[in-house]
Chain A
Amino acid sequence: MQPKGIPRGRALAPPVTITAMLRISRALIDQVVAHARADHPDEACGVIAGPAGSDRPERFIPMVNAERSPTFYRFDSMEQLAVWRELDDRDEEPVVIYHSHTATEAYPSRTDVSYASEPEAHYLLVSTREPDETEIRSYRIIDGVVTEEDVEIGEALSAAQE
């Protein structure tokens, strides 16, 4: 699939015959981009949690990149344990796992694919290589297979949904 523009300022379309899609609020996308820009040129990473089974990203959780590297990221192991326990306690799951590429396109690298370990998560990649334009794309990564999916950014979706 080719890179495509992100629809802006548009209400959510009715369900159509798209098999994979990430629906996410503008506010959450803005938080991911702000985190990626703040940590540039190092890669930024984090999670957007949502109710288990809902596929709705709702709670933004920026994570420390323990590698503090422009070409690699890894969640700090103790922070990950604390966050994963909190998700369990709240009956949430990591709906989105995001990270930035700071000098290359927002497409999963071989490294991304080989370490992808959450088959139910949307892997959201943002590229900050261009100072004034942020590429945002989303993927499923299951058993080493990358499938790009559409990203629908909803102005109507907000942290206050339901």
Chain B
Amino acid sequence: MAIEVRIPTILRPLTGGAKAVEGSGDTLDELLTDVDSRHAGLRGRLVDDSGLRRFVNVYLNDEDVRFLGGLGTTVKDGDTVTVLPAVAGGAR
């Protein structure tokens, strides 16, 4: 068993084109570090020095991890983590 991480189109160059990759860890932070060990650069697209990047949405199953515990959110085998770039912009 593992944790599935679903990858959006724009980040698939980092996963060899794969739509989903697998990883392990007890928290989202550990999971992203584990996945980054095989798909270098992925973590940096999702996380910066202050935590999860503002314009990336990360979901644990059906919840936005911002409403859970951010990078500290507990994850377990069988969970699905979905990454979606925020759709945002505007005249400002």
Residues of A within 8 A of B (CB): 43, 45, 47, 63, 67, 69-75, 77-78, 80-81, 84, 97, 99, 101-104, 108-109, 111-113, 115-120
- Minimal Cβ-Cβ distance residue in B for A70: B91
- Among candidates B64, B82, B90, residue contacting A67 with C-beta atoms closer than 8 Å: B90
- Among candidates B9, B82, B88, residue contacting A115 with C-beta atoms closer than 8 Å: B88
- Among candidates A71, A97, A117, A119, residue contacting B90 with C-beta atoms closer than 8 Å: A71
Q: How many chain B residues touch A (Cβ–Cβ < 8 Å)? A: 19
- Minimal Cβ-Cβ distance residue in A for B19: A88
Write out the residue numbers on chain A whose beta carbons fall within 8 Å of the beta carbon of B8: 117
What's the Cα separation between A81 and B83 when bound, in Å? 9
What's the Cα separation between A45 and B87 when bound, in Å? 9
- Among candidates A47, A109, A113, A117, residue contacting B86 with C-beta atoms closer than 8 Å: A117
What's the Cα separation between A80 and B58 when bound, in Å? 11
Residues of B within 8 A of A (CB): 8-10, 55, 57, 59, 62, 64, 66, 82, 84-92
Verify B90–A43 contact, CB threshold 8 A: yes
Write out the residue numbers on chain B whose beta carbons fall within 8 Å of the beta carbon of A97: 87
Verify A115–B86 contact, CB threshold 8 A: yes
- Among candidates B57, B66, B92, residue contacting A80 with C-beta atoms closer than 8 Å: B57
17 A-B pairs with CB atoms under 8 Å apart are: A67-B90, A70-B91, A72-B92, A73-B89, A74-B88, A75-B86, A77-B64, A77-B66, A77-B86, A81-B57, A99-B89, A104-B91, A108-B89, A109-B92, A111-B92, A115-B89, A118-B87
Verify A80–B87 contact, CB threshold 8 A: yes
Write out the residue numbers on chain B whose beta carbons fall within 8 Å of the beta carbon of A119: 9-10
Given A117-B8, A118-B9, A112 and B86 contact (CB-CB distance below 8 Å): no
Write out the residue numbers on chain A whose beta carbons fall within 8 Å of the beta carbon of B85: 115, 117-118
What's the Cα separation between A102 and B90 when bound, in Å? 9
Verify B87–A75 contact, CB threshold 8 A: yes
Write out the residue numbers on chain A whose beta carbons fall within 8 Å of the beta carbon of B62: 81
